[in-house]
Amino acid sequence: MSTDAPDAVPERVCASAELAERGRAVIWDVTQYGQPVRAFVLRLDGRPVAYLNRCAHVPTEMDWNPGELLDSERRWILCSIHGAAYDPHDGRCVGGPCGRGRLVPVKVAEIDGEVYWYPSRDIRPVPFDEPAPGSSR
């Protein structure tokens, strides 16, 4: 489980209005242990919830179309690869080949109409490219 970094500064993900209740998720890029991975945030019972977009069965992205992660009844997060189902409240596996696994949560908050995520020790923002030698950046 991720631990909050003492210097965690919130990073903007999207406008609150982009997240409809149990609608399409917003995807963004992060790193986990220095490796690129995507995260997603969706609105559940009025609040944003976020996880890494990585199945507990096989470490692959789960959406069947970008941002489409919920089942047809909008109840479970469903992996499009082999059908693992996760409780969107806590990321716990509730069916399929994910066993006792669970999704990795990402801390998010909604502030003044914007959704932010909080980097942790393990889950960090994607670093900006270093300026090329001789560039004026």
Interface with ligand FES in residues 92-111 (CB under 6 A): 96-97
Beta strand 85-86 with 77-78 is antiparallel
Give the residue with the Cβ less far from ligand FES, 97 or 105. Answer: 97
Judged by CB under 6 A, the residue of 8, 14, 81, 94 near ligand FES is: 81
Residue listed under structure tokens 């149990």: 22
Is residue 55 a contact residue for ligand FES (CB under 6 A)? Answer: yes
Q: How far is CA 81 from CA 17, 57, 64, 114, in A?
A: 29, 10, 8, 31
Evaluate whether 63 touches 80 at the Cβ level (below 8 Å). yes
Stretch that binds ligand FES, among 14-22, 26-34, 82-90, 102-110 (CB under 6 A): 82-90
Could you list the residues that contact ligand FES (CB under 6 A)? 55, 57-58, 60, 62, 79, 81-84, 96-97
